[in-house]
Structures are given as structure tokens and as C-alpha cells.
Amino acid sequence: MFSSLQGYRRAWITADLLAAVTLLVIAVPEQLATSRLAGMPPITGFYAFAAGSFLFALLGSNPQMSVGADSTIAPLFAVGIARLAPAGSVHYVDLVGILAVMVGVLVAMIGLLRLGWIAELLSAPIITGFLAGVAVIIVVHQLPDLFGLPGASGSTVHRITLVVTHLGDTNGWALGIGAAVFAIVVAAERIDRRLPGALVGLIGSTVAVGALGLHAHGVTILGTLAHGAPRLGLFDVSWSAIGSVAPLAGVVALVVVSQSAATTRAFADEGHYEVDVGRDFVGVGAGNIVAGLVGSFPVNASPARTAAVASAAGRTQLTGLGAAAAVLVLVPAAGLLKDVPLATLAAVLIFVATRIFHVRDLVAIARFDRFELGLAVVTLLTVALVGVEQGIGVAVGLAILDRTRLSARPQLHVLGRIPDTTSWAPLSSNVAAAQVPSVLAVLFATPLWYANAVHFRAQLTDSLARALGTPRLVVLDALGMSDVDYTGSRALSAVLDELDRDHTAFAVARAGEHARQGLRRSGLLARIGEDHLFPSVDEAVRTLGPKSPGS
């Protein structure tokens, strides 16, 4: 426990406390804005930050990672829970608490059981498209507050339609405040990421609203915050509630695991220290459980806040503990935030959305492969227009189909001998390699299974037809053929039938134990003969080739 504080040195305390101040000034406006995005009472964002920070410091391994309310997952569960209860209602808050505990249990179990590989089902294009879709949701949800319009609900398209049809009712003061705060945050980001642009914008706009009486001019403000003690425990728990929240909890947990793993590994590599990803999952999971039990909402690792800690030279989790303690101390004074204009929080969240919509990554994916770009775009559109669960499900399904398509159409490489050596290489990749007359050597560097068995046989038949001279020997280089299933063995048996009819010898080179077991179970090993298994292609050709004494 508190692993990052073990062996603590007094020389570190100054840097850690300065990093805690940096983290605090970033977290206050961000947690308020994220709680609005989550459809939860603003004060619950502070509780989420405190719960995530304390529990991760207690159980996690990364000394710099910041855990708390996160704008990536907030719109996911907000949209999902809003289908079950009206946003802001008591039932809504209760369901969000149940969701946070379920997410925490799932994430912690993934850490304890070392199942972090589940997150690897989300490829880079899928994650890029997913984050872009979330960015669209964030922006669309904030447009009414930015323009000073009444709140909207429903699908993304419906929300956009309502905003467009009511643009004539835009409140100039609200739009001006939002634009000014956005400009301040962008400027601070470009000058130095450690500058608290969001906090400056929040304080400045709050003072302006109070001094100029802008509330009377239609500028919507945050209002009085409920800043008493958190409500402890879970409420309205039933099997029906658990069942309705479970699918959403699975999706949110998957996103939390993916982002937490990426964050902890990235900053560990950058800071040259070791982390235990499993323990970090347990720490984030425990933070979610406690957040749910204190009436707050799911938490996640934050790449942006972690970067702020690293930039401020924070060494240990004393940074997170100090910032969390300061946030709790500020809770009784949260009433001072009642004049915060909603346009300010909207501007902060829209800026966050611009940070997670990675245009450069989409361009790079497009240059690399159009199909993978299609995965990213499908994920983006499905998440933004249909739903998060559907978007991730469709994208993962398409990605698996694409991998299956590629593995079902592997290339059979024709090999040639490199002059004056005993090495053989694919003719397509080595210009020096030359095919030996009357010998066909081929490399099939993938398992031979039902999806590619027909393709394997067709490629081998075609290679026989185009071989140099009439083949008297076929050598299959089985390096990489880690398995042969029943369908694959039947395809290979059909190839042997054709070779027998043409009186062509057959040998296998570099077969691993798994491939040998498959050949043995199918009876093909007895048919090929143990004496036709060789440690290299060259030895097979020298032993069985037409020019050898044993031909």
C-alpha cells in the first residue's frame, strides 16, 4: 500500500507539493465541468476526484497517474443512464452510483485476474474513432449552454437540430463568455501546459457575472451547490437495476481499462520507472467503488492531468493526495461557485473535446490503410449517432472479421536458394535467390486451418504449375505453421494425393512440435514419413533433390 511513498525522500516534498498545486488548479474547473457532462450534481465531481486519487495512491503503482472524473467516460454513461431515468433525478443519481460500483468491481477483477489483454481487442483505429465519437457527443451536448439556449435531450441529430432551429435565440453574453474562456484556455495551453487557463477563465467569468449582473441578462449560472457531506452507500439497488446497468458497466469498464493501461504505460516509459498494470487496474477499480459508495460517478485515469503532474516534476502520489485533500477542504466553500456561468464549463469541455479528436491520427490511418480508416469512421459515426455500446461492438466485430479475412488469405512464398550458401529465401523479397530446377520449396508461415486450407491448396497448385521445370520434389517450410487442424490436414492430404499421382516426392522442413502433433493425429506424419522431416530446406533438397545421390 502507498507503494510510491515507500522510501520517500525529504528532497522530493517541494516538487510534489508544487505539482499538487498545479493538479489542483487544473482539477477544480475540470471536475465541475465533467460532473455537468455526467448529468450529476456539480459537487459530486469533487468527491469523484477525491475517491479516485486516494484509492489509487493507496493501491496503485504508478507514482504520477491522476485518477478522477474523466470527460471520456462521462458522456458514455450519461447517455446510457438517461435512457433508464431522467437526467438529474434521484433515480438517475442512484443508478449512476450502482454503475460506478459495478465498473469498479469489473476493473479490479481484470487487474486481479490479469485479464488486461481484453483491452487489446480495441485496435488503434477503433480507439481513435471512439475518442472522436466521444468528442462529437461532448461538443453537441455543450452547444445549448454555449449559446445560452434551453437544454436539449435525445439523440445527437435531434440535439443538433434543436440548436440550429433556435440559433436566433442565442444569448450574446453567454456566447461571448464561452468564446473568451475557450480563447484563454487555448492560449494558456500553447504558452505552457502548466498555466491554469481553465481556472483563470472560471474565476474571471464568475467575477464578471457577479459584477455586471449578467444573470439578469439571461446568462445561465451553475446555481447553489449542495456541498454537504456525501451520501454514503447505494440506494434503490435491485436485480432489475443491476441487470439494466450491467451492459453499460461492461462498456465503461473496457474503456477505463484501455485508457488506464495506455496512460500508466506511456508515462512509465517517459519517466523511466516500472509499473504494475494489474495493480493500477485494482487502484482505479477501487476508486470507482468508493466513488459510487459516496454518491458520485465512475472515475478513470486522466492522460491530461497525469501529463500536468509529470510536467510539474511530481515524484510520488503525495501529489494526488495533496490535491484531493485540498479539494475536500474547498467543499464547504463551494457555494462561492454559484455564479459560474454554464457557458464557461461548456467552453472547458469543448476544449477537452478538441484534445481527444485526433485529426492527425485519422490522416495517418487513412494513409496506411483505407479499411482501417473505415473502422475508425464507422466507430466514430456509430458512437456519435447511435450509441457507445453499439459503436464499440460494431467496430470490434469488423476488426475481427478483417483479421479473419487476412488470416484466411495468407501468401504462400516460393523459395529460392541464395547462391554459394545453404540459405533459402522468398523469391519475391530476395533478388539473389534462385529457384532450383525440378524443386519447389514453399513457405507457409501461418497455421493451416479451416479458414485458409482451400486457399493454401489453390496457391500450391498454382505454384506447381509455374515452377521451373517439372517438380520432382516439393519441400514445405513449416516455420510459423504453429498448428494444423482437421480441415487443414485434409487439404494437405489432397495435395499429397496429387503429388503421388505425379510421382513427386514431398518433405517438410522446420516443423514445430504443434505442427508435428497435428500431422501425427491426422495420420499424415506416417504417410509423409519421419525420414522426410528435416531441420532445414537445404538439407531436404540435398537429401531428396534430383541431383542428390538419394534422389
Query: 46-75, pLDDT tens digit by residue?
Result: 999 999 999 999 999 999 999 999 888 998
- 289-311 average pLDDT score: 90
Q: Are strands 66-68 and 300-302 parallel, antiparallel or unpaired?
A: antiparallel
pLDDT tops 80 at residue 32: yes
pLDDT tops 60 at residue 259: yes
The residue among 86 and 391 whose pLDDT is bigger is 86
Task: Report the half-sphere exposure of 308 (CA within 13 A, side-chain side).
Answer: 26
| Residue pLDDT, tens place only, 389-429 | 777 778 778 778 877 877 788 899 999 999 999 999 999 88
Residues 6+ apart with CB under 8 A from 368: none
| pLDDT for 485 | 93
| pLDDT for 551 | 38
Three-class SS state of 275? coil
- What confidence category does residue 547 fall into, taking pLDDT thresholds of 50, 70 and 90? low
Instruction: Give the lowest-confidence range in 249-258, 381-390, 497-506.
Output: 381-390
| pLDDT for 134 | 82
- What confidence category does residue 508 fall into, taking pLDDT thresholds of 50, 70 and 90? very high
Euclidean distance between CA atoms 373 and 463, whole angstroms: 34
- 28-46 average pLDDT score: 88
Instruction: Give the lowest-confidence range in 275-284, 370-379, 454-463.
Output: 370-379
Q: What is the DSSP letter of 70?
A: -
> What is the average pLDDT value for the chain, to the nearest integer?
88
DSSP notation for 308-373: HHHHTT--STHHHHHHHHHHHHHGGGGGGGTT-BHHHHHHHHHHHHHHH--HHHHHHHHHH-HHHH
Instruction: Give the lowest-confidence range in 107-111, 218-222, 360-364, 516-520.
Output: 218-222
Residues 6+ apart with CB under 8 A from 468: 435, 436, 437, 438
Q: What is the DSSP letter of 170?
A: -
- 122-147 average pLDDT score: 86
Task: Judge residue 234's burial from the number of C-beta atoms within 10 Å of its C-beta, 0-12 exposed, 13-18 middle, 19 or more buried.
Answer: middle
CA-wise closest residue to 71 among 388, 386, 358, 352: 352
Helices 359-368 and 124-147 cross at an angle (nearest 10°) of: 150
Host H or E run for residue 391: helix 388-407
The residue among 227 and 429 whose pLDDT is bigger is 429
> Which single residue is written with the C-alpha cell 525440378?
438
Residues 6+ apart with CB under 8 A from 130: 122, 255, 379, 380, 383, 388, 391, 392, 395
| pLDDT for 549 | 43
Choose the most confident range, by mean pLDDT, from 366-370, 430-434, 474-478.
474-478
Euclidean distance between CA atoms 373 and 363, whole angstroms: 9
Longest CA–CA separation in the chain, Å: 103
| pLDDT for 307 | 81
- 473-501 average pLDDT score: 94
- What confidence category does residue 224 fall into, taking pLDDT thresholds of 50, 70 and 90? low
pLDDT tops 50 at residue 221: yes
- 297-309 average pLDDT score: 88
Instruction: Give the lowest-confidence range in 103-112, 212-221, 455-464, 480-489.
Output: 212-221
> Which single residue is written with the C-alpha cell 520449396?
441
| pLDDT for 159 | 86
| pLDDT for 543 | 94
pLDDT tops 90 at residue 383: no
Give the percent of the chain with pLDDT over 70.
97
Instruction: Give the lowest-confidence range in 14-28, 99-113, 238-252.
Output: 14-28
Three-class SS state of 434? strand
Nine cell digits for residue 180: 473568451
Is the pTM higher than 0.75?
A: no
pLDDT tops 50 at residue 550: no
- 386-391 average pLDDT score: 76
| pLDDT for 124 | 81
pLDDT tops 80 at residue 229: no
Euclidean distance between CA atoms 216 and 208, whole angstroms: 13
Give the percent of the chain with pLDDT over 90.
49
